[in-house]
Chains A and B, each alone.
Chain A
Amino acid sequence: MEGASVVGVGMTDFGVHDQPLPELFADAAFEAMDDAGADADVIDAFYLGNAMGGQTESDTHLAPTLASHIGLAGIPCSRFEDACATSSNAFKHAVEAVRAGTHDVVLVGGVERCTPSTGLETPEMTAIFASASHRQYEQPTGLTFPGVFGLLTTRHMHEHGTTEEHLAEIAVKNHANGTLNSRAQFGKETTVEAVLDSPVVASPFRLLDCCPFSDGASAVVVANAAGASTLTGDPVTVAGVGHATDVIPLAEKADLTATQSARDAASQAYEQAGIGPADVDVVELHDCFTGAEVLAIEALGLVEDGEGGPASARGETALDGRIPVNPSGGLKAKGHPIGATGAAQIVELVEHLRGEAGERQVEDASTGLAHNLGGDAGTTIVSILEVAR
């Protein structure tokens, strides 16, 4: 089996973009292709992440449409949909395709618009997001996605004593990181008091515990050795990609605080990379809600089970902490254009591993981990990247 590397990265600012999806995506795709030194004729395939274009913009069969817009018509194009884990799944399949030698160079992308630029306001968008929960046994209860993570986090608070203050500290940390990221949707600091004073969305989450609705696009160029040899981009090695699922609906999950798919995906990725949690220098993870970051750092083995809240409040996951988590600002501050989120995590890690992350650079980072969760943790993909040796 061949090795895989990321040879080029690009992304738009996350925020509000009043542009059609093909135009929005082109901005990220051309940046990634230029970074890789990849002209259109060296791209062998295009794997796209877009979760909700059919519902939000009446726009489907998007992979060949976007490919056509950026000069890639003719090559195999596939669209992936796994709720928030959408473009990580596209990334995983690109890595496997170049490892197998099916393709040498694959463009992976993600694009989504979720703000009122789509013409949809909060109730409509909340309903569309909720469509990732079970159609018969969850959606008709009025469960929302903040509610899904509210259920998981409330149980964690009951079992482990996690507090609303612990959760607020995570929002404060990710907002602070976001101020150092020019692409972040929120460029302002917040405080524990401001988080606790904001209105409840779904208990225990308040407005400032939740990621925003965002528009944005991201792209990465993945290549095997043969492909990379034709390109000029500074490569970062893909050391492991794990992918696991768990039972849906969430009432059937064995343990509501485990996010078991994240544990399973992490074990696969760690095993492929031949490392453990202690070897990771920088983490981008799926903090759609502050409580999701608590569950994720425990599932990834970065802290003991039950310690996610207190460890975060102690600053262990801060930019200057023991294990920096979400230096980009995370979904919380950077933004969460669903289908673009997974590939954007890879963009952030590549910049740290190249030493190009500017003010938020994690010093001497040589191993980075991305955790991208879909739905109620029905899907998680964990990717490990390393400085090329």
Chain B
Amino acid sequence: MTVDERLTHARWTEALRDGRLLGQRCSECDTVTATPEAACPACGARGLETIDLPTSGIVHTATTIEVSPTEFDAGYRVAVIDLETDGGARVTARLEGEASIGDRVELTDVLEVRETVPVFS
């Protein structure tokens, strides 16, 4: 589905809470991003179409954090998930379970500390 107005952090967050991952496709170069921008990071074009991204993807890389900042309890994983779109969208997320690079994971939850971010497992 497509939406007219530019994707904002607030709308992205609201959608994520409903289990949807919104992204943007550049009308000039077809680059797809998984978090909102005001212009395309690849070509600078402002014509960005808001799109629904897949809620399933492949672990591109991951790390286990054993020394955490305040507000977080150490012993969790953070990963970059490749959403396998034509435009190459990836998103940084919490990763639950044992999946490693190359494994398929699904958007299953959100984490809400200060902001809302995706959790894959």
Measuring CB to CB, which residues of chain A are less than 8 angstroms from any residue of chain B?
Answer: 122-124, 126-127, 130, 134-144, 146-147, 150-152, 154-155, 158, 199-204, 247, 249-252, 254, 256
Cβ–Cβ < 8 Å partners of A203 in chain B: 63-64, 66
Whether the Cβ atoms of B62 and A124 lie closer than 8 Å is no
Cβ–Cβ < 8 Å partners of B19 in chain A: none
22 residue pairs from A and B, CB less than 8 Å apart: A127-B70, A135-B115, A141-B93, A141-B94, A141-B111, A142-B71, A142-B94, A143-B65, A143-B78, A144-B67, A144-B68, A144-B69, A146-B65, A151-B61, A151-B62, A154-B61, A201-B66, A202-B67, A203-B63, A250-B92, A251-B92, A252-B35
Whether the Cβ atoms of B61 and A158 lie closer than 8 Å is yes
Once the chains are docked, how many angstroms separate the CA of A254 from the CA of B42?
9
Whether the Cβ atoms of A123 and B78 lie closer than 8 Å is no
Whether the Cβ atoms of A200 and B92 lie closer than 8 Å is no
Whether the Cβ atoms of A202 and B117 lie closer than 8 Å is no
Whether the Cβ atoms of B92 and A249 lie closer than 8 Å is yes
Once the chains are docked, how many angstroms separate the CA of A144 from the CA of B113?
14
Whether the Cβ atoms of A158 and B101 lie closer than 8 Å is yes
The minimal Cβ–Cβ distance linking A383 to chain B, given in whole angstroms, is 27
Once the chains are docked, how many angstroms separate the CA of A141 from the CA of B102?
21
Contacts known (A141-B93, A141-B117, A142-B94); A202 close to B60, Cβ less than 8 A: no
Chain A CB within 8 A of B91 CB: yes
CB closest chain-B residue, reference A142? B72
Whether the Cβ atoms of B117 and A150 lie closer than 8 Å is no
Whether the Cβ atoms of A146 and B67 lie closer than 8 Å is yes
Cβ–Cβ < 8 Å partners of A254 in chain B: 88
Whether the Cβ atoms of A202 and B72 lie closer than 8 Å is no
- Identify which of A126, A140, A155, A249 contacts B113 (C-beta below 8 A): A140
Whether the Cβ atoms of A155 and B101 lie closer than 8 Å is yes
Chain A CB within 8 A of B90 CB: yes
The minimal Cβ–Cβ distance linking B50 to chain A, given in whole angstroms, is 16
Once the chains are docked, how many angstroms separate the CA of A201 from the CA of B102?
23
Contacts known (A122-B67, A136-B115, A202-B66); A143 close to B92, Cβ less than 8 A: yes
Whether the Cβ atoms of A250 and B113 lie closer than 8 Å is no
Once the chains are docked, how many angstroms separate the CA of A251 from the CA of B9?
16
Cβ–Cβ < 8 Å partners of B9 in chain A: 136
Cβ–Cβ < 8 Å partners of B115 in chain A: 135-136, 139-140
Measuring CB to CB, which residues of chain B are less than 8 angstroms from any residue of chain A?
Answer: 9, 33-35, 41, 60-72, 76, 78-80, 88, 90-94, 101-102, 111, 113-117
CB closest chain-A residue, reference B102? A158
- Identify which of A150, A155, A200, A252 contacts B41 (C-beta below 8 A): A252
- Identify which of A142, A152, A154 contacts B69 (C-beta below 8 A): A142
Once the chains are docked, how many angstroms separate the CA of A135 from the CA of B71?
14
Cβ–Cβ < 8 Å partners of A256 in chain B: 60-61, 80
Whether the Cβ atoms of A142 and B70 lie closer than 8 Å is no
Once the chains are docked, how many angstroms separate the CA of A295 from the CA of B85?
27
Cβ–Cβ < 8 Å partners of A122 in chain B: 67
Whether the Cβ atoms of B33 and A252 lie closer than 8 Å is yes
Cβ–Cβ < 8 Å partners of B79 in chain A: 151
Contacts known (A136-B115, A142-B76, A251-B35); A202 close to B64, Cβ less than 8 A: yes
The minimal Cβ–Cβ distance linking A261 to chain B, given in whole angstroms, is 13
The minimal Cβ–Cβ distance linking B39 to chain A, given in whole angstroms, is 12
Once the chains are docked, how many angstroms separate the CA of A16 from the CA of B43?
45
Whether the Cβ atoms of A201 and B92 lie closer than 8 Å is no
CB closest chain-B residue, reference A203? B64
Cβ–Cβ < 8 Å partners of B90 in chain A: 251-252
Cβ–Cβ < 8 Å partners of A155 in chain B: 60-61, 101
Whether the Cβ atoms of A199 and B66 lie closer than 8 Å is yes
Contacts known (A144-B67, A147-B65); A139 close to B114, Cβ less than 8 A: yes
Cβ–Cβ < 8 Å partners of B117 in chain A: 137, 140-141
Cβ–Cβ < 8 Å partners of B111 in chain A: 140-142
Cβ–Cβ < 8 Å partners of B102 in chain A: 158
Cβ–Cβ < 8 Å partners of B41 in chain A: 247, 252
Whether the Cβ atoms of A127 and B69 lie closer than 8 Å is yes
CB closest chain-B residue, reference A131? B69
Cβ–Cβ < 8 Å partners of B93 in chain A: 141
The minimal Cβ–Cβ distance linking A200 to chain B, given in whole angstroms, is 5
Whether the Cβ atoms of A137 and B68 lie closer than 8 Å is no
- Identify which of B61, B71, B114 contacts A152 (C-beta below 8 A): B61
Once the chains are docked, how many angstroms separate the CA of A203 from the CA of B63?
5
